[in-house]
Structure 1
């Protein structure tokens, strides 16, 4: 298995094989929480105008996401799992657009298959890749607004790669590095309205979910399909 770690939008465009588009803070952590809350479908889009257009055509769709970390005008929700905890999303279709993660999905044209990446379902991602046993795996770290790499995305890629290669991981050390680095923003008082500190904990709740979110195509858009992954067993 050939595993490469790639960065930002250029990395997404260079991705081949089974591709994991990683956005820990917060797109693909939030997507897992939304899925767990019973959303029927998540439609990831890169272009915010496409999100508005889908809402116009389907008024019952829910708009969720961010630009510059904040909820865009006329959106129902931002990109915070904390702020979604008490919402009823059962049976809803979510249109999700963010500055990083959904851009990576849109950019990974050369991938044979795309799944989303985060720590909250890292174990399921690892087991899914093992079950597929692809020749090539691309781990794409989307970073901050596709502009510069971030600790959490790069370390998530390293966590997945290490596990696939049978190498040890020290998640506590990784979490400490993230807390001291790019995770600091969740503890700044002036950002609590759109980046609450509880998001840090929710996005780093390792292996909380036992499913992967795979990009599927339907009509003129893509959606994230929930695939439950059973743990690997040794025969």
Structure 2
């Protein structure tokens, strides 16, 4: 059981949870709340563009340098996603940290994406589906928010009572480090457990397809 950075080597066969609070996996969770069917996560914007050329009916979301590329349908913003028309649609997501970190773990016993909005559901899904399996929690960013979320999730998985106030404070500290990037998305990023599902990944051909699974 460990908390590591995005580029750490992770032992195959563990449950891997990849965390990006500001903002990739908060945006993904809001997309599922809006009725998205699935989200295919890729390692780069160019990989996302290539996949959309193959699947032109899919929406392309994400960021480069924190900003939405002009040819993307939506950016990496939970606020923007909260009004997006994505019901029944399949999405492709490409971000600097979150999706890039997710695709690095093809040999996990289970692979999940998480942020504060679905942290408890993630813990419940792991406990119900992989009891006794070691876990690794991967912080994709260098800010305080991912470490705070990982610490909170680690506490839930160990059966302790972690501090929600500490989690929210950590996200706030991380947002201050991000500056303007967090902006109006921060209320979504700090809305702990608003989503009642885990985001479980299936790995294929260098990409990870996320589905929302009740937690």
- Which TM-score applies when normalising by structure 1? 0.84
> Of 25, 34, 38, which aligns to 1:37?
34
Q: CA deviation at 1:219?
A: 7.3
Show the counterpart of 1:6: 4
Size of the aligned set, in residue pairs, is 213
Q: Aligned partners of 1:150 and 1:9: how far apart in 2?
A: 15
Name which one, 1 or 2, has greater alpha-carbon Rg: 1
Q: CA deviation at 1:214?
A: 0.8
What's the RMSD between the two structures over aligned residues?
1.9
Deviations 1:87-107 (A, max 9, x none): 211111111000111111111
> Of 132, 135, 148, which aligns to 1:134?
132
Aligned runs of 1:193-212 on 2, under 5 Å?
195=181, 197-212=183-198
> Of 64, 69, 92, which aligns to 1:95?
92
Give the match's secondary structure for 1:135.
coil
> Of 66, 78, 81, which aligns to 2:78?
81
What 5-or-longer segments of structure 1 have no aligned partner?
144-148, 230-235
Q: CA deviation at 1:218?
A: 5.7
Counterpart contact for 1:45–1:102, Cα < 8 Å:
yes
Q: Aligned partners of 1:219 and 1:135: how far apart in 2?
A: 25
1:170 matched to 2:163: yes
Counterpart contact for 1:15–1:140, Cα < 8 Å:
no
1:228 matched to 2:214: yes
Q: CA deviation at 1:81?
A: 0.7
- Which TM-score applies when normalising by structure 2? 0.91
What 5-or-longer segments of structure 2 have no aligned partner?
none
Structure 1 runs of 4+ aligned residues shifted over 6 Å read: none
Counterpart contact for 1:121–1:210, Cα < 8 Å:
yes
Deviations 1:127-154 (A, max 9, x none): 11111213210111111xxxxx211100
